Amino acid sequence: MITEADINILFNPETIQKEIKELGKKLNQEYGNEILYLICVLKGSVMFLVDLSKHLKMPLRMEFIRLSSYGSDFTSSGRVNAVDISLPDLNGKNVLIIEDIIDTGHTAKFLIDFIKHNFKTKSLKFCSLLDKKIKREVEIDPDYYGFEIDDKFLVGYGLDYDGYYRNLPYIGYVETKEAE
């Protein structure tokens, strides 16, 4: 188990909010006044969705799905579980997937393939607050991301360790043997 004393702050709340505001501006430019469907991948992306959506000016719908991929405490299993992936009809819609972090990329690929297989969307893009590029196992790049990060295990602002610390207002990294 870890305690809050093991967490080193990487991005404070002000830094996070500033970056999200910038992302919001870019998305407003991209979509203009077109209807946008935001697909929030629970649970980790919930804080990001809430704060990002407040900057968006187009008419938008919010959909929530639940996927899980993490096997052990600090490592991505590479296998994606669709816990709840019920979605409305996305044919002909602009769809933007909202993720907290892309790590190996398996979750992103699974979801993009799932949507492509089931719908002919007008557009399909991916927006992740964090991008752990160095850990990528499948070829995939987010269309939008906030911060690129090293190979560290992060918690806070939606990200969890064993279900905890999602409520921290900052993003921090945990120094552990397993995380190295």
Both structure tokens of 25: 């501006």
Residue 103 bears catalytic tag:
yes
Q: Residue 106 interacts with ligand IMP (CB under 6 A)?
A: yes
CA 23, CA 157: separation in Å to the nearest integer?
A: 16
* Residues 134/103, Cβ–Cβ less than 8 Å: no
**168 contributes a contact to ligand IMP by CB under 6 A:** no
Binding to Mg ion, residues 35-64 (CB under 5 A): 41, 44
Nearest Cα residue to 15 out of 179, 174, 173, 172: 172
Minimum distance from CB of 6 to ligand IMP (Å)? Answer: 14
Answer yes or no whether residue 100 interacts with ligand IMP by CB under 6 A.
Answer: yes
Active-site position among 51, 103, 141, 143: 103
Q: How far is the CB of 85 from ligand IMP (least distance, A)?
A: 14
- Decide if residue 100 touches Mg ion (CB under 5 A): yes
* C-beta closer to Mg ion: residue 44 or 172: 44
Nearer to ligand IMP, 55 or 135 (CB): 135
Among the listed ranges 5-13, 48-56, 84-92, 104-112, the one in contact with ligand IMP (CB under 6 A) is: 104-112
User: Residue 153 touches which of Mg ion, ligand IMP, none (CB < 5 to 8 A by kind)?
Assistant: ligand IMP
**Residues carrying an active site annotation:** 103
Binding site for ligand IMP (CB under 6 A): 41, 44, 69-70, 76, 99-108, 153-154, 159-160
